[in-house]
Structure 1
């Protein structure tokens, strides 16, 4: 077969080693193995040598996973999104529902972090920053679970 015939038919599909996949996706090899164990990636084929052999499309899937993680999705949520991508009956409304649930979760976490910030600000205001640690309200609150003006959840465990 001559070169022009190969070009017209397109190059033969190539498989990638785990190292090349990792580099292309910007992830570590162990991360890819972990995603396989967690069911986020299909099991790769194996070469005669026993090494994993990946379809190039797995790089796109890994980039999807990485970007979804960057948006705060858990691995379980990402698996659900990936499953939706494989479901021919899934619609954009299904993905939008998942995104709205994530927004609700993010807003809850923001409120929780704001409460923590408020409690810390209150403790910092109460601390003179001088004297022995036994008189420091910050240490006292951490050791004894003292309630602060911002703490409505009761004593710390």
Structure 2
């Protein structure tokens, strides 16, 4: 039987063997053939599949989303699995996270500029830029 053993595939794709088994369990990677000795043997194309999965993860896709996208490439497409639609939705999600992170950074910079040294003291100050100052108010004073 020709192909790649688990260790060879893992090395070629830049993952470990446990990752391969996990992808198999998740249905992202087809179950490999076996040698007479029971060793897994993957087709050469499995390297590309694993690299695609890892690249999609780096782009922010979840394994469930990747499973749908990989199925699309195999001709088992669902109408909601189109890469263009998924990429557009992921960009919107990333833009929202960037906006949230930017607001967090700006609030922390404002706290530094306001010379906040202690969250408890800062939260009690009317000049506190941290948006949770209402939490410092006694119950019933709002």
Normalising by structure 2, we get a TM-score of 0.77
| RMSD of aligned alpha carbons | 3.0
Residue 94 of structure 1, CA deviation: 2.1
Gap change, CA 1:97 and 1:142, over 3 Å in 2: farther
Contact 1:40 1:79 (C-alpha < 8 Å) held by counterparts = yes
Distance 1:45 1:141 in 2: 64
Corresponding position: 1:104 with 2:92: yes
Partner of 2:28: 40
From 17, 42, 50, the equivalent of 2:5 is 17
Gap change, CA 1:80 and 1:88, over 3 Å in 2: closer
Contact 1:115 1:150 (C-alpha < 8 Å) held by counterparts = no
Larger Rg computed on CA atoms: 1
Partner of 1:79: 67
Give runs of ≥4 in structure 1 deviating > 3 Å: 88-91, 141-144
The unaligned stretches of length 5 or more in structure 1 are 1-12, 129-135
The unaligned stretches of length 5 or more in structure 2 are 136-142
Contact 1:39 1:79 (C-alpha < 8 Å) held by counterparts = yes
Q: Count matched residues.
A: 131
Gap change, CA 1:17 and 1:89, over 3 Å in 2: closer
Normalising by structure 1, we get a TM-score of 0.70
